[in-house]
Chains A and B, each alone.
Chain A
Amino acid sequence: MTVNQYDAIIIGGGHNGLVAAAYLARAGKKVVVLERRHIVGGAAVTEEIFPGYKFTEFSYVVSLLRPEIIRDLELPKHGLKILPLPSTFTPMENGDYLAAWDDHDLTRRELYRHSPKDAEAYDEYARVMARAAKAIKPIINLIPPDPTSLSLRDMLGLLKVGQYAAGLSEKELYAIAKLATQSSADLLEEWFETDALKGTKAASGIIGTFLGPRSPGTAYVLLHHYMGEIDGAFRAWGFAKNGSGGVSGSILNAAKALGVEIRVNCSVKQVIVKNGRAVGVALDNGDELQSKVVMSAADPKRTFLQFVEQKHFPDEFVTSIQNFRTRGSSGKVNIALSELPNFTAMPFEGRGHDSVLHRGAVSISPSIDYIERAYDDAKYGQISKRPYLDMIFPSMIDPDMAPPGQHVMSCFVQYAPYDLEGGWNDEKRNELGEAVIATIEQYAPNIRKCIVGMQVISPKDIERIAGITGGNIFHGELLLHQIFFLRPTPQWADFRTPLKGYYFGASGAHPGGGVMGAAGMLAAKEILKDGM
């Protein structure tokens, strides 16, 4: 009987679940993580889909992994290495390119080639964004207070936010207010004139949302992406050794070293509720596990609509979770390559192993209109004919990702709507793959003959494999009405739920998506605060 008795059960072995488990174990708790798949990592996994070629299957870059998690869990000791991803290269439709290198002067000179005005505006834009990110950042680490509550904790929390806001300069407040309401297109058009620059910047405002660059609210997502840049202010963006699976792997090792039990191939049927309190879980195989608390690291819909009978929650709460927007809008194409695609805008000679652009990201985002047009297709249930692509070549950053002399390529593709007209099937998946290859071919004509193997992942596949409802990479869009004290739903943004003993700590909770680990860490801290 004692075998299945725990202090805490964590449902879901994604990076947030593992982080929460490690923090709880670190506080001396007996913890088990239950993972439905045969490997942990969730959407942060690396798998050899073709022998010898490692695909960082879903998520592919690290920008926001909390530094305190890295230190607290001693992740470098457990294998974490975040390697630099130094540049962004945007090939243009006229055969030229726009590059942002990791050197400030080089980038200025590159932009200068396109527009002297933009070259300088870029610096100031970066400073304004970095200042706004710095200003808003302390909020990320606060437990969101409920502005309508009269409890002491919420009042103190609000006071903290208020005091913090009062400490901001007028300029910073205005900048934040604008960022919170504008579209990324409006914001960028205030600053720049170069299409490829605006397109590439706008792209980061639409990632993981079902919005276009001209939709209001997307400017905030731009800011969200700047958060990574102010952490230690240096090289915060990166690619983890062994891909995103390398991040999960190091957290897994840390959790194990702290005594966390990991069970894979172990899917949860339901949370067991007794006397209005979560007291354990029932597994699909009929086993039952008992615990003092249960935390879900799954998405909000699974957490509240699938694992727990709805009668345990207030109706309003259920409605609100039902309305939580989780529209998947992106897919992923992972490609095993016999050689590197050669971009005509900056061709290499020979094998290309010293090609600078392949060490960074390649962005297919020639203009805001290009991306907005891609969105137009998706709005009406179609795959973008010419999608936005964010590509990296993991084997150029970490040579162990592919056999010597061979390469792997990771293509994030947007838009690929979850609710595709006619539904997703193999034919549609091929259509998505073809849209990606045809798009790349326009800039790197040799792409087709480089392909050794290809994996196309639709939002439906993200849902099926990683278990994320709707296939949204952030477990729910980062929209203004779905962040901070509204994430996942008003009054329940503090990692607690209406069901006693049941907690929620994943990307669908504050502060949101990205391989960040913050939700898992903060949830674990709240669990410990409540005592068990």
Chain B
Amino acid sequence: MFNLKTTPFHERTSALCQPQNWRKWAGYFAAGSYEHTLDREYWAIRNAAALIDVSPLIKYVIKGKDAAALLHRVTTRDIHKMKVGQVAYTGWCDEEGKMIDDGTVTRLEESTFRLTAAEPNLRWLTMNAVGMEVGITEVTDEVAALSFQGPNTRKVLNIVAESPVDELKYFRMMKNRIKGVEVTISRTGYTGDLGYEIWMDNNRDALKIWDTLMEAGGDYGIAPVGILAMDMARVEAGLFMLDVDYTSASHAWIEPQKSSPYELGLDWTVALDKPGYFVGRRALEKEKREGSIWKMVGLAVDWVGMEKIYKQVGLPPQIPGMAVRGSLPVMVGNVQVGYASTSTWSPLLKTYIALAHLQKPYFELGTDVRMEITVEHHRQHAPAKVVKLPFYEPEWKKR
């Protein structure tokens, strides 16, 4: 029990992981990258097919007569409206309307759901299930998952899956078989591209799925991809990460560390029109009425402006080749109006971009701000503009 766990794909991933840059993810080994530079992996997501082992993702099966009622109560979405086979992205809040975690809810059957989460939530779910007829089981170890992302993934899946996936719509799920192994395939992901997540039992058959995809994907530019390249893609997609871009209300030491769904730009996930009580409802209604003080936005750094700053020391702009998870102050004039929580170079957009939390009124689209950069060991501020999220959204993402 002293070592990190390995996923069912470890036999393959460990043989492929050249830089041996393992990251820790929820108690599991996760490959940082498979090659020494991230370029090929990033472009597999954006231009071909990326195979990402996401088995460490925390998963719960919520089952029983009151399963929908429980999720209706805990999350901000209108769960009762969900059809079997539908997937919904949602956050969940504490009574003060501050985000605890976020993930996806999949209605597997009429009264069976799968919930994914970044952190353990069993206690929170159980506390909210008092008096309900519902079973909550963590299935993180029992269910393996592969994220298959990129514009060519549909073609590859159509080769290997028993039933074609052409009809599978965005944020829908289907039961299927690959090489005779039962899987569920959802059209979801963490990259903002065309993509699927394939869920299966954690046993030796899981390796069959990996091998089959790698084999069939060979002609379509498939590459095993680690979490570092995915981190760049998810910023482009405007997707945030718990403990990086926001702090869970149940972890926060002080009030200002907490965020509401509105402050994170999740207005569309808060179904205030849904019937009945849900956790945080009153606080969220109030915030909706009065407006939010903070908002998470996209920042695009002005290249020419940044070039000028670097030019002063005789250098061209230097940008880190991967996503940087570190807080960077954002200024207007000499006043700090917020901070960027993740920043990255976008190889596709050729832009230095960031997810940033800004105060009212500076979060309005088009606002000119300046973001901190370090130029030859000196703190400088590069001009940047508030832009719409996501930074990148290919037309085939939802088509």
Contact = CB atoms under 8 A, between A and B. Distances in A.
A109 B5 contact: yes
Contacts of A356: 2
A264 B339 CA distance: 58
Nearest to B25: A105
Interface in B290-340: none
A121 B253 CA distance: 18
Interface residues of A, number: 21
Nearest to B27: A105
Nearest to B119: A123
A138 to B, nearest CB: 14
B4 A120 contact: no
Nearest to B122: A120
A131 B254 CA distance: 10
B1 A110 contact: yes
Given A99-B1, A106-B1, A124 B250 contact: yes
Contacts of B24: 103, 105
Nearest to A124: B123
B4 A106 contact: yes
A116 B126 CA distance: 11
B120 interface: yes
Contact of B122 (A99, A117, A131): A117
Contacts of A124: 123, 250
* B-side interface mostly: loop
A101 B2 contact: yes
A117 B120 contact: no
B123 A121 contact: yes
A294 B367 CA distance: 67
Given A105-B27, A106-B4, A356-B2, A134 B253 contact: yes
A113 interface: yes
Nearest to B3: A106
Contact of A108 (B2, B120, B126, B253): B120
Interface string B1-42: 111110000000000000000001011000000000000000
Contacts of A101: 2
Contacts of B26: 105
B4 A127 contact: no
A119 interface: yes
B27 A109 contact: yes
Interface string A86-129: 00000000000001010101101110110011011101100100
A127 B251 contact: yes
Interface string A479-502: 000000000000000000000000
B182 interface: no
A116 B138 contact: yes
A120 B27 contact: no
Nearest to B126: A117
Contacts of A117: 122-123, 126
Given A117-B122, A117-B126, A120-B122, 5 more contacts: A116-B122, A120-B121, A120-B123, A121-B123, A124-B123
15 contacts: A105-B24, A105-B27, A106-B1, A106-B2, A106-B4, A106-B27, A109-B27, A110-B1, A113-B1, A120-B122, A123-B120, A124-B123, A124-B250, A134-B253, A356-B2
